[in-house]
């Protein structure tokens, strides 16, 4: 594990496998850590350079009392790739990590991104009142505004730990490997409420639908039949990103929001096929 310090004096922990070829930079989701990609770091690093990072407020990174916005996280990622001297890289974002890449693209463009992989993240999480019911369904919105506010209040409240654990359990819809569930449940405890709650609110308040048609890099969109995220939302994204590909893991391969943990061999094979395509 290595670390660097951002322009606003926040220490971020990252791993860099080294190696040749185009690096793969992988971003985790809300409340989780770079350990989510432990199988990918170990197995994909044999043939490529892999970089993972604990976003601010998560894992082994510092947990300051500022900067819990998707735009700031995307700036952190820009500073990380600058720190590593990456002029070109492949980008993978899972859950909130996908939103961080969409923010990165919105602000800094795609010049340095060779290929993009989006894993199980709706283009808009909150069903805001100015979206039609059809727009809410197709974008994959999973909260209404009242529900989002209630969740934030509960996470910040005295029973926050229990609420976090219930939130994790809701992301598994089928029979669950108890070791995988326990691992995810343990990792989410690394993010304190003062960091996680405002970041979750900011994350869920974003609407990235206008960014999708402007993504001009080869893109793979991955969904899961067994996730709490409806695969229809991933189809929506793939239809709006020019020339994007869609792959949905069947329920028997991915009964949750965590296909890279549940079925790493299959996940890695799909990912490697896309990244090495000529």
What percentage of the chain reaches a pLDDT higher than 70?
100
DSSP class of residue 188 equals G
Q: How far apart are CA 180 and CA 259, in angstroms?
A: 11
DSSP 48-93: S-EEEE--TTSTTS---SS--SHHHHHHHHHHHHHHTT-SSEEEEE
Q: Tokens 């492949």 correspond to what residue?
A: 90
pTM greater than 0.85: yes
- Are 123 and 208 spatial neighbours (Cβ–Cβ below 8 Å)? yes
Read off the pLDDT of residues 18-33 as tens digits, 9 standing for 90 and up: 988 899 999 999 999 9
- Helix (H) / strand (E) containing 15: strand 11-16
Q: What does the alpha-carbon distance between residue 231 and residue 208 come to, in Å, rounded to a whole number?
A: 17
CA–CA dist 237, 259 (Å, integer): 18
Confidence check: pLDDT of 256 > 80: yes
Measured CA to CA, the distance from residue 65 to residue 52 in angstroms comes to 23
Contact 254, 226 (CB under 8 A): yes
Task: Judge contact between 270 and 247, C-beta under 8 A.
Answer: yes
Output 248 or 176, whichever has higher pLDDT.
248
pLDDT at 3: 97
Report pLDDT for 255. 87
Closest CA to 249 of 278, 274, 224: 224
Convert the pLDDT of each residue in 140-198 to its tens digit: 888 889 999 999 999 999 999 999 999 999 998 877 788 999 999 999 999 999 999 99
């Amino acid at each position: 594990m290595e670390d660097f310090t951002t322009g606003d004096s926040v220490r971020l922990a990252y791993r860099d496998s080294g190696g040749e070829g185009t690096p793969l930079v992988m971003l985790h989701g809300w409340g989780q850590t770079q350990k989510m990609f432990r199988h990918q770091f170990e197995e994909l690093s044999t043939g490529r350079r892999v970089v993972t990072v604990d976003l601010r407020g998560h894992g082994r990174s510092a947990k300051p009392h500022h900067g819990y916005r998707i735009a700031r996280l995307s700036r952190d990622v820009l500073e990380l790739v600058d720190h590593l001297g990456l002029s070109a890289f492949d980008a993978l974002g899972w859950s909130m990590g996908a939103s961080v890449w969409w923010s990165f693209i919105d602000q800094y463009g795609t010049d340095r991104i060779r290929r993009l992989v989006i894993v199980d993240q709706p283009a808009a999480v909150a069903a805001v009142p100015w979206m039609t019911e059809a727009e809410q369904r197709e974008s994959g919105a999973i909260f209404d505004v009242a529900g989002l506010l209630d969740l934030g209040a509960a996470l910040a409240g005295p029973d926050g730990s229990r609420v976090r654990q219930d939130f994790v359990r809701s992301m598994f819809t089928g029979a669950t490997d108890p070791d995988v569930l326990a691992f995810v449940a343990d990792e989410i405890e690394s993010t304190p409420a003062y960091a996680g709650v405002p970041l979750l609110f900011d994350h869920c308040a974003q609407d990235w639908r206008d960014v999708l048609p402007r993504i001009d890099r080869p893109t793979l969109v991955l969904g899961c039949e067994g996730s709490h995220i409806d695969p229809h939302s991933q189809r929506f994204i793939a239809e709006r990103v020019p020339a994007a590909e869609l792959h949905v893991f069947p329920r028997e391969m991915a009964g949750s929001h965590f296909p890279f943990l549940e079925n790493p061999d299959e996940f890695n094979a799909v990912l490697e096929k896309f990244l090495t395509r000529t």
